[in-house]
Structure formats: structure tokens, C-alpha cells
Amino acid sequence: MPPPPRAALRRLLPTTGLHPLRRRAPPPPQVDESPLPDPYALLVHDPIDLLSSLWRRAFAHPLPAPFPNLSGYASRLDLWLLSYQRACAHATGSFPPRQAVPLPTLHSLLRLRAAALRRHPAFPWGASTHLLLRSPVDTPSTVPVARHKLADRLANAPPPFQDHVVQELLLLLLEPVFEPRFSPKSHAFRPGRGPHTAIRSVRSGFAAYLWFITADLTTVVDALSSDTILSCVEKSVSDRKVLSLLKSALNAPVRPGSVPPREQDPDGLTKKRLKRKALRKSRKKKVLNEDEPKPEPYWLRLFFGFAPEQACHVPDFGHCGILSPLLANVCLNELDWWMEERIDEYFRPSRHDSIWKEAGDQGCHNPSWPEFVPSSGKEKTRKMDFLRFGSHVLIGVRGPRQDAVEIRSQLMEFCERTFGLRPENSAVEIEHITRGIEFLDHVITRRVIYPTLRYTASGGNIVSEKGIGTLLSVTASLQRCIRHFRKLELVKGDRDPEPLPCSPMLYSGQAHTNSQMNKFLETMADWYKYADNRKKIVGFCAYVIRSSLAKLYAARYRLKSRTKVYKIASRDLSRPLRESTNNDAPEYSDLLRMGVVDIIEGVQFARMSSIPSCDYTTFPRNWVPHHELVLHEYIKLQDPKFFCELHKTIKRQEISSPQDDVSRMVWHYKVYGVYDNNRSSKKLNEWRSNEEAVSGDTQLLLDE
């Protein structure tokens, strides 16, 4: 049979916009057409138990050797279902129950698991068509779309939902493997650690340092190559399937439209246009769809606007998504342990010094010195310490400035040698403690104090002398706070800020508005919990919020000034404000009793005495989070050698366990009719002495 002509073949082929004989559309990803197993027969384990066993194995595994097998955990459908639930919680705002996941979704998870664990071909990261798993909020579209519009949509499509599920699974598997290998000096993107632990570490361990090195390694972290990241991961993970999946996520091309654009400072005209557009959008009433998640409350959006500069930047590598911060910590962990070695090498104790005569990490220094320490000198102990929050490093040096300059150059050389990129000179700075070092919106500085020292001299004379010392001060930055308020358009001006009305709460009731602002003030009081000027900074925040609400209520209820608002609603704005002065209107107390209105909470911290003081609770140098303590204790109790040593110690110290006491008591009672020979004799002597004393008292009473 002769082949059909090209015209007939062109009519038979679908119209795709491509020449049928020159270019062909890329084939869809291969899908295993074999019958799927019953997913309900595979859901036999509790995912929390599986993850707990993984955490125990990771903390009990010897650290130098890489963790061997993760494919066994990656093939568990229970963990895939948990990853799907976590991804749904991020997409919809609600965590779906395990029993509510339908059977087609479980089948899709099985196909996704097979595609992710198959090494050839690689997993299709960033796919826009032929998806294996769809988001629960994705609705099928039946509206015809033009060809060029469809091409634009596919090119600018966001990362698919199935990528988030795989990223969640990798995070669940890799986080317990790397946590015991991380340095305790790292405080960002880790469970149980955060900005508060970093600030407390500064307060307890950086008191005697004169020179500080602040390094911003954001450009270095953003420029990390996939080979560098994989080489760091392979030191701790040896599973080939997990490494292959991670490699494909790092090397797969990313569509330009799926990456959010970098924020740039717009010009004045563009800024005004965007401001008017946002104002119109905020005034427009929005009706949420059935599956659309609720927006975050206003107080939480306000608090997120106060995020420190060091915590705003989140690394992003290829298609890794939420796994990127963990990978950044894995790479920077090399820097952490290198700094630990430099700390041990730099330590030079001096017998003429009153602190740090031995290694400080062992907690053998004078515990009364972390807050009050003497000044530095030639005959003082030379010591160094550091901590890292994300890509920001803080190094404290007690010694001459030449040592700080040398450490700075060594740090930059290490980054160039290990990560392939040298940080800029402006990103690594050396500052003296007297100038104040800004870190996490807190200022680290010192104050020179002259305490009176009283002691008893020879001859019994009490001598009073003036001493000199330095006191570490960790205060919240008021200028940063004003800057955040100005960015949120709640104040204007820098030196003498003037509060502005809180326009986003214009259409909310007084009770709801006060409640939202109270939650914000409580969160701010907790954020500045470890600042020396906690009362001052929280009082300023309360003043801004209270004045902003007073201006808002003056505009809403037509009271013309804040003074009239305070006169009617009191200082804390707890009394109700009414729009009408009609006497026929019911009283607020009657409406509250009928349940028509909500109770109005007063704005907190209206008085300085109601603001809590700074929390000076001691922070141990070898502090670890609670979950790590529990893991270490559990692993120790599961070790049979520990029980053998404990049993030998008990026998050596002649301390018997409760089980031994019970067995001895039963045996001696069965054989001798009494409890133990040695102890029974003591008990019998006690009983006889008690009986003699009782009989003597009875005889005296009878004689009387």
C-alpha cells in the first residue's frame, strides 16, 4: 500500500501549531501502567512512629559515618500521605484528616512515589502538564483558551503541587539526619532554636568581647552550585535514590515565570500608583471561595512586618523549595565546625585573669562574670566565640584588633576555598563594642560602671573602694522599630514620629479592633522579651497603637480629636463609642447582656507599670532543645551497656534496686518469717525500744 500524501497526513494530525513532519511535541513522562496495589493495605503504620524511629536512629548513629538507608522510609506510603497532608495545610490552610483522603488521591500518591524513587528517567520537577498529583484547590477548566494564552499560562505557571509533596517528604527524611551533625552555634531554620536563643547566647557568652566581626554571607549562599551542595550532603547521606532525587531537583531547569521577581525599590510615581491601587483593593469587599484559605489576621501581618533583616532572606535552590534552608545550613555547617577549631586554637588563658582560666565551653569559668567582666589588657585571657543565624555570622574576639583582622581574612579565604565565592569586603566588617553592634534588631553594647567594693582589711577595718567594670547591654533598636512602623504606614517621621490612623481597621468594630491590637502588643512584648529596654520599646509600641486607634475612632465616630476619644473611651479605649447621641438608643450594658455586642477589651500596656521587665533568666552555655534532651535520654535508656554500668554502680555502693528489695523481703519472710536479717534486727531493736518506751509511760500513768 503506498504511503499517504503529506496533505492527507497533515489533515489527520491534530493542529498543534508545529509542523507535523519537522518538530514533534515532547513525549509525556512515562507512567507505570502496571496495576496499583491496594493503598489501604499499605497504610499500616503510624507516620509519627516511623519518624520517631528515624530520629532515634539518626541521633544514635555515629556521626562521622554517613547515614546508610533512607529508601526504606521513602517507600512508606504512610510518610507520603503525611507529606500530602502537610502540603494541603500550606495550600488550603487546613490539615485534612487521614481518613478524609479519597481513594483516587491515594492512587495518585502511589504513582508519585514510583516516579520519585525511579532513578531513570528523573523525576519531572516543575512540570506544567501530565501531572501525577493535583492540588485539592485546583478546579478543572472547561473554558476554551487560545493557543498563545495557553502557552503563556504554561510558561508562567507556579510550581506544581506534586513538587511540594516531594519536598515535604525530603524534609521529613533529611532533617533528622542532619540535626545531630549541626553545630550548636547555629540558630536559624532549626527546630527548637530561633532568634530568642541567639539573643540569649549573646547575653550569656559575649560579655567580655571587645571586637566583633559581622559577616553577611547572603551572596555566597545564593551563589552555591549544585555540586557544592551535593558534596556537602553526601558526607552525611549515602542513599543513592535520595541523592538522585535531590540532584534532579537542583539541576532541573526552572521556568522564569515560576520564580517570584525580586523586590525593587520603585520610584515616587510608581510608589504612589501602587499605594492607591492597594488602597482601592483593601476597601473592596472580597468574598472568599469555598476552598480558598482565609487571609492572615491583621495583627499577624503587622508582626511579620517587624521581621529582622537577618531573618527576611530565605535561600532558594532550584526546585528544592522548603528544603532550601536546610541545604543552606548543611553547607554553612562546614563554616561552623571550622570556626569551632579556630576557637580552640585561639584560646590562650592567663593566670592573671579572673575569668576563663580554662576552656569556656566546659562551663568551668566563674558563673558570676557573664554580665559583669573586667576590661581587656595585655595580661588578659584571649578568647573567641561566634554564632550564626542563617547566612549572618557574629564573631566576638577578646584580644587586639590585629587578631580580629587576621580572623576576618581567614574567614573570607575559607569561603572562597570551600564555597567558590569570596564575600565582598563591605559584607565582613569589624566593629568595637563601644560603637554598638546591631544584630536581629537588637544593639549589643557595653556600659562602664563604677561599683563600690566593700571588704574587711587586716585589723577588722571595713574598706570601701571604687571599682571599674563593664556591663553587657543588649537593647532593642528604637530606630529599627520606628522604621518598621513607618513601612507599615502607622507613623510618619524619624526623630519625632507622629502616629497615623490605622486605616485597614476602618470598617471593624471597636471590640474587634482592640482585640487585634492587643494580640499584636502581646506578641511584640514577647519578641522584645530579652531586651534591657523592654519596658521602653513596648511602651513606645503601645503608644503608637493607642494613638493610631484614637485617630481612627475620631474619624469613624466624628469626634474630631484624640482628646475627645480619650475623654469618652478612657486612656485604654475600653469604653464604648457610639455614632449617634439619640437617647432612644439602647445602652451598651443592655446590649452586652443580651449578647448583641462583644465585650470591649482595653488596649494593653497603657501604663508603664503593666509592661513586664526584661527576662534575665540564665542561659546555659551547653544548652540544647528539649526534644534533643529527650532523645539522648531515651537512647541512653535503650543501651544495655548503660544498664550494666548502672547495676555495677548500685552493687558497688551497696544500693539495691526496688525489685531486689521486694524479692529479698518475700524470700526472707517465706524462710525466716521476718524481713531480712540485717534490716530485721534493726527493725526489731526499734520496735523493742518503742515498746519499752510505751510500757514505761503506761506504768507511770498507773502509778499516778
Give the Å distances, CA to CA, from 296 to 41, 135, 299, 305.
39, 21, 8, 13
**pLDDT value for 190:** 94
- Helix, strand and coil percent figures for the chain, each rounded to 5: 50, 10, 40
- What tens digit of pLDDT does each residue of 435-481 get? 999 999 999 998 877 777 777 777 778 888 777 777 888 999 999 99
Mean predicted confidence (pLDDT) in 625-641: 89
Using the predicted structure, report yes or no on whether residue 111 has a pLDDT greater than 80.
yes
CB count, 10 Å around CB of 371? Answer: 15
* Residue (of 192, 190, 167) closest to 90 by Cα position: 167
Q: Computed from CA positions of residues 179, 185, 189, 191, in that sequence, does the dihedral angle turn out positive or negative?
A: positive
Q: Return the HEC string of 538-571.
A: HHHHHHHHHHHHHHHHHHHCCCCCHHHHHHHHCC
**295 or 257, which is more confident?**
295
**664 or 598, which is more confident?**
664
Using the predicted structure, report yes or no on whether residue 698 has a pLDDT greater than 80.
no
Going by pLDDT thresholds of 50, 70 and 90, the confidence category of residue 33 is low
**Percentage of residues of the chain with pLDDT beyond 90:** 45
**pLDDT value for 108:** 93
Query: What is the C-alpha separation between 483 and 540, in angstroms, rounded?
Result: 13
**pLDDT value for 553:** 92
Cis peptide before 121 (omega within 30 of 0): yes
Here the cell at position 598 is 462583644
- What tens digit of pLDDT does each residue of 503-542 get? 888 888 888 899 999 999 999 999 999 999 999 999 999 9
Query: What is the C-alpha separation between 605 and 198, in angstroms, rounded?
Result: 27
Angle between helices 240-251 and 161-178 (to 10 degrees): 130
* Residue (of 25, 254, 29, 35) closest to 130 by Cα position: 29
**pLDDT value for 657:** 66
- What tens digit of pLDDT does each residue of 319-344 get? 999 999 999 999 999 999 999 999 99
Let me know the angle formed at the C-alpha of 76 by 75 and 78, rounded to the nearest 5 degrees: 150
Q: Tell me the pTM.
A: 0.81
Using the predicted structure, report yes or no on whether residue 290 has a pLDDT greater than 80.
no
- Among the residue ranges 7-16, 167-176, 340-349, 374-383, the one predicted with the least confidence is 7-16
Going by pLDDT thresholds of 50, 70 and 90, the confidence category of residue 413 is very high
Mean predicted confidence (pLDDT) in 398-417: 94
Residue pointed to by grid coordinates 520606628: 482
Phi, psi of 393 (to 5 degrees): -115, 135
Q: What is the dihedral of CA 594, 598, 603, 609, to 10 degrees?
A: 50
Amino acid at 45: H
**pLDDT value for 659:** 74
Contact 154/355 with Cβ under 8 angstroms?
no
- What tens digit of pLDDT does each residue of 119-158 get? 788 888 988 888 899 888 887 777 888 888 888 887 788 8
**331 or 94, which is more confident?**
331
Let me know the angle formed at the C-alpha of 587 by 581 and 588, rounded to the nearest 5 degrees: 105
Query: What is the C-alpha separation between 165 and 127, in angstroms, rounded?
Result: 14
Kind of pairing between the strands at 392-398 and 211-216:
antiparallel
**pLDDT value for 647:** 75
DSSP state of 492: E
Query: What is the C-alpha separation between 58 and 175, in angstroms, rounded?
Result: 10
**pLDDT value for 155:** 79
Query: What is the C-alpha separation between 306 and 300, in angstroms, rounded?
Result: 10
Here the cell at position 660 is 531486689
- What tens digit of pLDDT does each residue of 36-71 get? 889 999 999 999 999 999 999 999 888 778 888 899
Query: What is the C-alpha separation between 83 and 169, in angstroms, rounded?
Result: 5
Going by pLDDT thresholds of 50, 70 and 90, the confidence category of residue 25 is very low
Going by pLDDT thresholds of 50, 70 and 90, the confidence category of residue 256 is low
Going by pLDDT thresholds of 50, 70 and 90, the confidence category of residue 246 is very high
Query: What is the C-alpha separation between 107 and 133, in angstroms, rounded?
Result: 9
- DSSP secondary structure string for all residues of 36-101: PP-HHHH--S-HHHHHHHHHHHHHHS-SSSPB---HHHHT-HHHHHHHHHHHHHHHHSS---GGGS
Looking at the DSSP assignment, which residues form a beta bridge with residue 492? 498
**3 or 83, which is more confident?**
83
Phi, psi of 431 (to 5 degrees): -135, 150
Query: What is the C-alpha separation between 445 and 474, in angstroms, rounded?
Result: 7
